[in-house]
Amino acid sequence: MAKKIAYLTIDDGPSKDMKQKVDFLLSKKVPAIWFSRGDFLEKRPKEAIYAIKKGFIIGNHSYNHPYFSKLPLNKCFKQIEKTDEIIDSLYRQTGKKRQAKVFRFPYGDKGGGENVEKGWPEDKRTFIQAIQNFLKKLGYKQPLFEGIKYKWFNKAGLLNDIDVYWTYDVMEWAIKEKAFGIDSLRKVFERMDENYPEQGRGLNFAGSNEIILIHDHFETTKIFIPIIKKLITKGIKFDLPKFQIK
């Protein structure tokens, strides 16, 4: 029987501990897409350059991580474009070709225009589509994540958008905030052992592959390695998606 495949995505970096995480993932032959903030890329370019040189993908996660639904369109566009330019610059410094342009919205918030400036479209669907169109104009494409079979995910059409969503959130970030009853690594592990495929907890479900979300936060560096080790024990094969080339 084929192993369950997981595509690892890491948000909010680069942290000052990114190199340590990159080296560990390399040692375990775990590839990943690092959805990175533009302001952090400016602050810690060496960490991102190191990851690129080691074969990891740097994705766009906006400039300073706002809720897009609270921004007017022109500021949404600026968040994307400014970070895109920073990533281009980093790839040029490495001398390596940028394999693909991939984007993830902060908080998974695709926009909606609660505070729309006069003259911008006020219909939420039109607003959201305008951002998707802008991503496409800049050359962004969603990679081909094969084998994602969850009904909830496909019903929402998440594989049809330009941006990249996730099927499983590790939720290690919740420990710091004590959110959703998760206040320890033990609680994170207990959640990983659950089996509710259509409620976003399908790690133990053989019927679908996964797009896994974890974060590059300084506060959770100490539990990053144990979490990856726990995922590996589940017999998951980590891979990169197929990138759509123009």
The pTM of the whole model exceeds 0.85: yes
What is the pLDDT at residue 33? Answer: 98
- Parts of the chain with a pLDDT under 70: 1-2, 113-123, 245-246
Q: Are 210 and 234 in contact (CB under 8 A)?
A: no
The domain made up of 5-238 is a member of CATH 1.10.3720.10:
no
Q: SS3 for 57?
A: strand
Model pLDDT for residues 46-68, shown as the tens digit of each residue: 999 999 999 999 999 999 999 99
What is the pLDDT at residue 3? Answer: 86
What is the pLDDT at residue 122? Answer: 53
Q: Give residue 236's identity as a one-letter amino acid code.
A: I
Instruction: Give me the helix-helix angle, 221-233 and 18-27, nearest 10°.
Output: 20
Distance CA 49, CA 33 (A): 14
